[in-house]
């Protein structure tokens, strides 16, 4: 099949593209290579994808440029779209809320409109566990009422979920919304905690720890997340939301212990206040994904962190 993957030069996107190419599909990546982090990282991801045996093309463009989106979808017959492109991050969204709404919400509308016009019926869209906000009920279930988002980023993702339902209802599109839970692994964005901490610990610099280390996240290894994404492309749902997490929580203090062990270096911890927009815990109920997608995450944090550090060392030795 022919797949359009938005954000395919990024962390999760590049892994998705690699898996699709391995399965014999043709892949087109649409990415703006913005400066949220060093574009050279994404260019390296694209270089590695281009080195794989497969039908692969890259188109640089901006989702908010409706004409560019329409031109791309009109230039090739796509069977499916995997929409991963977005402005990411809770804290940066507080600094630039309008940018996050424009890229994440308007960009998604542009893509859905282009898909509708070209009769591309199936689209898989990245959402986020951040939509659950400060949810007193754990683990988080797709059936939970969502009334407590606490960041512009979370609000933009919740809007995308609503838009996906609109396009399913009005035009019969098959839409899967995937709520990712703190994905990590090789190629992880340099601004995310695991990568950032590994870099700072290796350099002997202090790591910023917000709060007392008791906050907990449902860290999910990227291969497991990709398993869930690919499973969504192989079935039809009408419209459905799925949690893609590991379904276990890891305290920040334990995460730091694992990083210290894998790196063989002690962390210099610099305590800072809790950050606005951060939630105290994320914890996925994955029973729906297990039943419908056959989703069964396999990589526990004790295995995943050493895998990441192995990649980290190799990447920094180049």
Question: CATH number of 2-317: 3.30.540.10, 3.40.50.720, 3.90.1530.10, 3.40.50.300?
Answer: 3.40.50.720
| Opening angle at CA 125, ends 124 and 126, nearest 5 | 130
Ordered strands of the 2-6 beta sheet: 56-60, 26-31, 2-6, 80-83, 122-128, 174-180, 239-244
Cα 9–245–137 angle (5° rounding)? 135
Angle between the N-to-C axes of helices 193-202 and 252-263, in degrees from 0 to 180, rounded to the nearest 10: 40
pLDDT of residue 212: 78
Give the pLDDT of residue 148.
83
- How far, in Å, are 13, 86, 174 from residue 166 at the CA level? 25, 20, 11
How many other C-beta atoms are found inside a 10 Å radius of the C-beta of residue 294?
Answer: 12
What is the pLDDT, as a whole number, of residue 210? Answer: 81
Q: Per-residue pLDDT tens, the chain, 318 aa: give them.
A: 999 999 999 999 999 999 999 999 999 999 999 988 889 999 999 999 999 988 999 999 999 999 999 999 999 999 999 999 999 988 899 999 999 999 999 999 999 999 999 999 999 999 999 999 887 688 999 999 888 888 999 999 999 999 999 999 999 999 999 999 999 999 999 989 999 999 999 999 999 888 777 888 999 999 999 999 999 999 999 999 999 999 889 999 999 999 999 999 999 888 887 777 677 788 999 999 999 999 999 999 999 999 999 999 999 876
Catalytic one among 132, 153, 221, 295? Answer: 153
- What pLDDT sits at residue 115? 97
Query: Is 132 known to be catalytic?
Result: no
110/112 Cα distance (integer angstroms): 6
Give residue 136's pLDDT.
67
DSSP characters for the chain? Answer: -EEEEETTTSHHHHHHHHHHHHTT-EEEEEE---TTS-HHHHHHHHHHHHTSSS-EEEEE--TT-HHHHHHHHHHS--SEEEE------HHHHHH-HHHHIIIIIIHHHHHHHHHHHTT--EEEEEEEGGGG-S-SSSSB-TTS------SHHHHHHHHHHHHHHHHHHHH--EEEEEEE--EESTT--TTSHHHHHHHHHHTTPPEEEESSS--EE--EEHHHHHHHHHHHHTS--SEEEEEES-S--EEHHHHHHHHHHHHTS---EEEEPPPTT--SB--B--HHHHHHH-------HHHHHHHHHHHHHHHHH-
Check: CB of residue 212 under 8 Å from CB of residue 280.
Answer: no
Q: What is the pTM of this model?
A: 0.95
DSSP for 27-95, written as a single string: EEEEE---TTS-HHHHHHHHHHHHTSSS-EEEEE--TT-HHHHHHHHHHS--SEEEE------HHHHHH
Cβ-based neighbours of 310, under 8 Å, separated by 6 or more: none
Task: Please tell me the predicted confidence (pLDDT) of residue 129.
Answer: 94
Please give the pLDDT value at position 134. Answer: 82
**What pLDDT shows up at residue 54?**
87
């Amino acid at each position: 099949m022919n797949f359009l993957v938005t954000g395919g030069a990024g962390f999760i996107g590049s892994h998705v593209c690699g898996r699709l190419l391995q399965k014999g599909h043709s892949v087109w990546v649409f990415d703006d290579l913005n400066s949220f982090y060093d574009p050279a990282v994404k260019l390296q991801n694209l270089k590695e994808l281009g080195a794989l045996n497969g039908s692969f093309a890259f188109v640089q463009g901006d989702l908010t440029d409706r004409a560019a989106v329409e031109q791309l979808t009109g230039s090739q017959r796509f069977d499916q779209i995997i929409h991963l492109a977005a402005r990411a991050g809770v804290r940066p969204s507080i600094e630039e809320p309008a940018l996050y709404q424009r890229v994440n919400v308007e960009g998604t509308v542009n893509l859905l409109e282009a898909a509708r016009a070209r009769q591309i019926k199936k689209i898989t869209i990245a959402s986020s566990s951040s939509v659950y906000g400060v949810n007193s009920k754990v683990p988080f279930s797709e059936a939970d009422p969502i009334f407590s988002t606490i960041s512009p980023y979370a609000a933009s993702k919740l809007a995308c979920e609503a838009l996906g339902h609109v396009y399913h209802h009005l035009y019969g599109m098959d839409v899967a919304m995937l709520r990712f839970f703190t994905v990590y692994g090789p190629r992880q964005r340099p601004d995310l905690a695991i990568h950032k901490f590994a870099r700072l610990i290796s350099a002997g610099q202090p790591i910023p720890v917000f709060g007392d280390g008791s906050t907990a996240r449902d860290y999910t290894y990227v291969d497991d997340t990709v398993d869930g994404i690919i499973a969504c492309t192989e079935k039809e749902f009408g419209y459905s939301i799925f949690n893609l997490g590991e379904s276990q929580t890891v305290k920040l203090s334990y995460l730091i212990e694992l990083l210290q062990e894998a790196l063989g270096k002690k962390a210099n911890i610099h305590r800072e206040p809790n950050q606005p927009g951060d939630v105290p815990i994320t914890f996925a109920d994955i029973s729906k994904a297990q039943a419908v997608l056959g989703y069964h995450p396999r990589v526990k944090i004790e295995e995943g962190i050493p895998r990441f550090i192995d990649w980290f060392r190799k990447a920094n030795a180049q």
